[in-house]
Structure formats: C-alpha cells, structure tokens
Structure 1
Amino acid sequence: MEQSNGPIQQPLHAASADPAFVPGITGVVAPLDDAPGPEDEPRDAVVAAAEESDVDADEGADEDAAPAVAEGGGPVFEAADRRGRIVADAEGVRLSYDEEACEFRWDEIAAVESGKGRFGKRFTVTVHTPDRRWYPIEIIAPDRGHITGWEAGLDAVLDAYFDEAS
C-alpha cells in the first residue's frame, strides 16, 4: 500500500479557474422569447445584411493599402483589430482597448516603441512618458504583411510630428 508523506492539497477554486467565483460577475443573459431573433427575420434581410458586411470588409482592405493623410496634409497612422485601436496624427497618439482609452499629446511623450512578434501576427506599440511610465497595446494583424505596412506608417507619423529634443 502506498501512502503520501506530503500535505494534502485541495483543488483551487478561485477566479483563475472559475470566473463565476468573483462576486459581481454575471453570466450571459439568455434572450427573451418575445425578442425577435435572426430566425424571425425574412431570408432577404439576412442576405442583405451579409452583403453589406462584405462591402464594409472590402472597404477596410482598401483603407489599409493606401496611407492616410490628415486634413492639414500630414500623415496619419491607424491600426485596429476587434479589440484594440492605435491612432497617431498631428494631435498625438490615442490608444484604446475594449472600453479603456488614453490619449497623449506629442509634448507628453518621451518615446514611442514598436515591435512585431517573431512568428505571429502581433504588432505592439508602447508609449513611454517622461515620468517613466509606459503604456503598451497589442494589435493582431489580419496577416503578417500588414505589420510591415503598419511599421512604415507609424515611422512616417513619428518622423513628421515627434520632436526628440523635447
């Protein structure tokens, strides 16, 4: 017969294993039976909605291919995925991720660092402030070719607006 000499460890029941453990977090609410769903819509409406989303996706691809230009004639950098967004223009740098957002004017920025994952499609931009704080954001590119374009676009904006002497 085999006997353990060490302490008996109970399974971990915490937020890392079960999000329902955290008080205040609620689950997904099921739709009411009275609410109209996609099955209640006529088939023509569903097809029309799908065609509109295809048109929007095609327009987004064209925007990534052409460099953006601000109203004043200077370059604008914009990169986004389903959760995060980076915008850099004459006003400064704006980062947003889900519901969180922050905005930095060019005089508030000490450095802007960008990098790409070695094997993946992740593009990371980190904004450093003079008080030694940094604000990173990671955007997932649709394909690896977009990352090269994003790096070139960000470099163009930094060259145009960022003054390293400040």
Structure 2
Amino acid sequence: MEQRVDPNSPLEYAAGTDPAYIPGLTAPRSAESAESVEAEEAQEPVTEPAAEPAADAAAPDDASVPDEEGAASEADEGASGPVFEVEDRRGSIKADREGIRFRLDDQEAEFRWDELGAVEVKPARFGRRFTVTVHLTTRRWFDAEVEAPARSCLKEWTADLDAVLDAYFEDA
C-alpha cells in the first residue's frame, strides 16, 4: 500500500501549542499574535520586588505599625483606604490601593489593579486553607494559599478582602 505525502494538507490546531486554548470555548490564536504576546511577556516580567527603598526609608509611626495578626491598624486604613493582609509561616497575601501581592518563601509577585481581569477567593470547605487566585487580562492566572490560625478566621478574611476589592477593583 502506498502512502501519499501531501505538503499542502492543512495543519490542525493542537492544544499543545497554546496551553490556554480550550476547544469550543476560546478561539485559537494566530501565529503572529502568539509571537507578539510572547515578546511582550519577555519584556515585562511578572514578578517584581514589592518593597521600594523610598517606602522603607520613611520612619514608621504608631498608626502604621501592624499588629500581631499581620493586619494593618484602623488608623492606617483611614489614611490610605482599606488594606487586607494575611500571612502564615511561609507566605502572605496583601491587597491595598496599589494592587495584590503574593509572597511564598523568598518569591514575590505583584499585580496592579489595571492588569487584573478577575479575583477569585476560595476559603477551604474543610480545613484552614485560604486561597486567592488572580486572573490576568492576558489569560494567565496565579494563586496563593495561606493557612489560617483558626477556621473561624476564613469568613472574616473573605469579608475583609471583599471590602478591599469593592474599594479598588471597580476603579481600575
């Protein structure tokens, strides 16, 4: 039996070339739009250092010192708007007027409000894990988990993060 090799046969789109492609849900990207997105991502890194030298040089006063739970004090909220910050032994999640920052060990990622498409909050149904997932407008997503000291903190953390999202996410 003979096999015919046809160089003009159309190539089928493979999901392996674009991991964000979901058949029937998203349209496949053309080769030049995929290359432009890759070039854009290479120029703009996703992870950035969260601490700025100018902010660290300012002398802290009693109103801006965080309490033992890691949340900002009430006096600081009135000056700059609501702030959400939770942490455990390995990582932290912080949301304020600049954006959302994730930290895990020595790695940090900062997301500005204007680059976020959606923010998903998932408190654990069983256990004490609190997960926040940010979905970027570039069809990428990142998540961070923090372990709560007590299960009762999960509802409080969800309400506090909702207040921050209501204050800043709609404005972006």
For Structure 1 versus Structure 2, the TM-score category normalised by the shorter chain is 0.5 to 0.7
Q: What is the Cα deviation at residue 70 of structure 1? A: 3.7
How many Å apart are 1:73 and its aligned residue?
3.6
Q: Does 1:99 align with 2:106?
A: yes
Question: Is 1:114 aligned to 2:107, yes or no?
Answer: no
Is residue 2:68 matched to residue 1:60?
yes
Residue 157 of structure 2: aligned partner:
150
Equivalent pairs, count: 106
Instruction: Report the Cα distance in structure 1 between the residues aligned to 2:78 and 2:121, rounded to whole angstroms.
Output: 25
- Return the letter of the residue paired with 2:169: F
Q: Give the deviation of 1:149 after TM superposition.
A: 1.0
SS at match of 1:123: strand
Cα distance between partner residues in 2 of 1:153 and 1:68: 16
The one-character-per-residue Cα deviations of 1:80-138 (angstroms, maximum 9, x if unpaired) are 00001011000100101011111011001111100111110000000110011110111
* 3-state SS of 2:152 partner: helix
Matched letter for residue 60 of structure 1: E
2:122–2:131 Cα contact (<8 Å) kept: yes
Provide structure 1 residue ranges, at least 5 long, that are not aligned to the other structure. Answer: 1-58
Equivalent position of 1:140 in the other structure: 147
Residue matched to 1:161: 168
What's the secondary structure of 1:132's corresponding residue?
Answer: coil
Match of 1:34 in 2: none
8 Å CA contact 1:70, 1:89 repeated in 2: no
In structure 2, relative to structure 1, the CA distance for the partners of 1:81 and 1:138 (3 Å cut) is: same
SS in 2 for 1:128: strand
TM-score by length of 2: 0.56
Residue matched to 2:81 = 74
Task: Indicate the structure (1 or 2) with the bigger Cα radius of gyration.
Answer: 1
Counterpart in 2 of 1:33?
Answer: none
Q: Is contact 2:97-2:168 (8 Å) kept?
A: yes
Which one-letter code corresponds to 1:87 in the other structure? K
TM value normalised by structure 1: 0.58
| TM-fit CA distance, 1:65 | 10
Counterpart residue type for residue 77 of structure 1:
F
**Secondary structure of the equivalent of 1:86?**
strand
> Gapped runs of 5+ residues in structure 2?
1-66
User: Over the residues paired in the alignment, what is the CA RMSD in angstroms?
Assistant: 2.2
